[in-house]
Chains A and B, each alone.
Chain A
Amino acid sequence: MKKYINDLTVCSNRQLSDDYFILGLTSSDVLPEMLPGQFAEIKVDNNPNVFLRRPISIHDVDYTNNVLYVLVKIVGQGTQSLSTLKVNDTVNLVYPLGNTFNMDGVTNVILAGGGCGIAPMLYLARHLHQKKIKTTILLGGRTTIDILESEEFKKYGDVFVSTDDGSMGEKGFITNNSIMKQLSSFQRLYCCGPLPMMKVFAAIAKQQQVDCEVSLENTMACGIGACLCCVTETDKGNKCVCTEGPVFNINQLKWQI
């Protein structure tokens, strides 16, 4: 897929809470085709302490209105600066980057997103729904404000929720949600979130022989396979998460699970 370096215009900046926001980005040109799981390298212009671009998942694309949405968690100076962008500000993107989820050969799947890990999952759910693949969504977080976009997800399938403190949905870790008892009824588990969470999901999926794909978020510089900083160990050696990923089947990864 062709990659672009483009200035986009901020058309919305919706604060979900103190920690999360969704930027809507548009252009006078038609946005390129983007696939679920892909990401953009966003330049942070308004902070001299931020040197590198920030890799951010594509959250959703509204082709009718030519808007790309990114969901961002404020974790440091780069994402903090992005949170202050205002409507009509310009932001530079290198995109779309990375691979996509495998949506072939399945009729019934489950998506699991922990906290900001739901970022690539909404666009995935939209695609699965369009392909008439039955989709179940499992969301998890520490507390209610970490459960993001649950109403949006309901458009695409049944939604199950876990919070560590029980303030929303079931109390406990997302990996212990009651829907996980039925994991073997699904043909594939897609998952994104903190690494320890993904490893637990991967271990359960492996044990129950359910196909499992995870989306990794290694720290990276270039995003286009040049710097070789973001590698993960795979069955074929070190591979760049930015070009060979971010989505990997757990069978490719050298995880001790």
Chain B
Amino acid sequence: MADLKVKIGALEFKNPVLTASGTFGYGPEFEDFLNIDSLGGIIVKGTTLEARQGNAYPRMAETPAGMLNAVGLQNKGVDAFINDIYSKIKHYNTHIIVNVSGSKLEDYITVVEKLNDLDQIPAIELNISCPNVKQGGMAFGTSCASATEVTKAVRAAYHKTLIVKLSPNVTSIAEIAKAVEDVGADSVSLINTVLGMAIDAESRRPVLSTITGGLSGPCVKPIALRMVWQVSQAVKIPVIGLGGIMNVTDAVEFLLAGATAIQVGTANFIDPAISEKIVHQLDAYCDNHRIRAVKELIGGLIV
């Protein structure tokens, strides 16, 4: 048994395997398939101040080695999360992290102020990178100035661990990461989905109702690995890596690139038990490679 513990800011995780927002519901959806307490943490569905209906159907297109989605942050709003969902999941013996999304700065602040009071939510993931909403979302995360502004304001309002989720749809993700680090982010997670589109050659129409959507799955993994490597060189805060992780080998690659923890996303749709499997396989990987603590892998890339 290797030591799998990692730290993000002041927060210790029993292992570095988390589930990505928007791919794991709130947890109960997966209870038939795995033991949620075995995970390092779960990041629940993007939560906004008001309820959102999301985008019109169709919202999904399969691609080679991946998928496009255009869900558009469908959720019941932060009050419904606190009143209806939180009580059903707060008994989990794992870190529950809420992904916070918004289209206005004030909305982000109101949401995080409400989340401050929840004892079993030790961290938030600030989503400034959703490509599927018309206002806000990714717009906050694609310039240093706006990323700084929203992170600074949320930092002032939120008292626990603050992770900022970054968009890959930028010229220099390392600059954005540096900018949010400078205003108090405890960690950055990357990458959110890559903006893409799909066209039906028969009907000559876009497949998605929104025309463009977010690409995820193994097809984005090389982009994600490159960005995690670049960002981890540029910042001192821990980096959480995600993008196309399907198995333990992928997870180890992200750790080597500099990630302190990883998130399993789209893979949950193919194998709902995969995140727990990756925890066990990571333990086995460490044993097989005579690694006593998984921390030894972080940034262990040999160049």
Per-residue interface assignment for chain B, residues 42 to 79, with 1 indicating a CB less than 8 Å from any chain A CB and 0 otherwise: 00010000000110011110111111010100100000
Q: Measured between alpha carbons, how far is A233 from B67 in the docked complex, in Å?
A: 22
A221 touches B271 (CB 8 A): no
Chain B nearest CB, measured from A222 CB (Å): 4
Q: Assess the B273–A238 pair: CB atoms within 8 A.
A: no
Contact pick for B272, options A51, A94, A218, A230, CB 8 Å? A94
CB B242 to nearest CB in A, in angstroms, measures: 15
In-complex Cβ contact of B59 among A2, A48, A50, A229 (8 A): A229
Tell yes or no: B268 within 8 A of A by CB: yes
Taking CB atoms and an 8 Å cut-off, the chain B residues in 260-290 that contact chain A are 266, 268-273
Contacts of A157 in B (CB 8 A): none
What range describes how many residues of B lie at the interface?
Answer: 20 to 34
Contact with B along A197-233 (1 / 0, CB 8 A): 0000000000000000000001111101111111111
* Complex Cα–Cα for A225 and B31 (A): 12
Q: Tell me whether B54 and A5 are in contact (CB under 8 A).
A: no
Tell me whether A5 and B60 are in contact (CB under 8 A).
Answer: no
In the complex, the answer to whether B25 meets A49 with C-beta atoms within 8 Å is no
| Contact code string B156-176 (vs A, CB < 8 Å = 1, else 0) | 000000000000000000000
- B30 near A224 (CB under 8 angstroms)? yes
A133 and B64 alpha carbons, distance in the complex (Å): 47
Instruction: Evaluate contact between A221 and B60: CB separation under 8 angstroms.
Output: yes
Interface bin, chain A: 20 to 34
A2 to B30, CA, bound (A): 11
Residues of B within 8 A of A94 (CB): 33, 272
Residues of A within 8 A of B200 (CB): none
A227 touches B269 (CB 8 A): yes
Contacts A5-B273, A222-B272, A227-B69 known; A52 to B62 CB distance under 8 Å? yes
Instruction: Point out the residues of chain A lying under 8 angstroms from B273, CB to CB.
Output: 5
Q: Is B22 an interface residue (CB 8 A)?
A: yes
| Residue B32 lies at the interface, judged by CB distance under 8 Å to chain A | yes
A255 interfacial contact with B, CB 8 Å: no
Question: Which B residues are in CB contact (< 8 Å) with A48?
Answer: 65
C-alpha spacing A23/B37, complex, angstroms? 37
Q: Is A63 an interface residue (CB 8 A)?
A: no
Contact of A51 among B25, B57, B65 (CB under 8 A): B65
B54 A51 Cβ-Cβ under 8 A: no
CB-CB under 8 A from B33, the residues of chain A are 3, 5, 94
The 8 closest A-B CB pairs, nearest first, are A229-B60, A222-B269, A226-B25, A3-B32, A221-B269, A229-B59, A228-B71, A226-B29
13 further interface pairs, Cβ-Cβ under 8 Å (given A48-B65, A231-B59): A5-B272, A5-B273, A50-B62, A94-B33, A94-B272, A218-B57, A224-B272, A226-B25, A227-B60, A229-B69, A230-B60, A237-B53, A238-B74
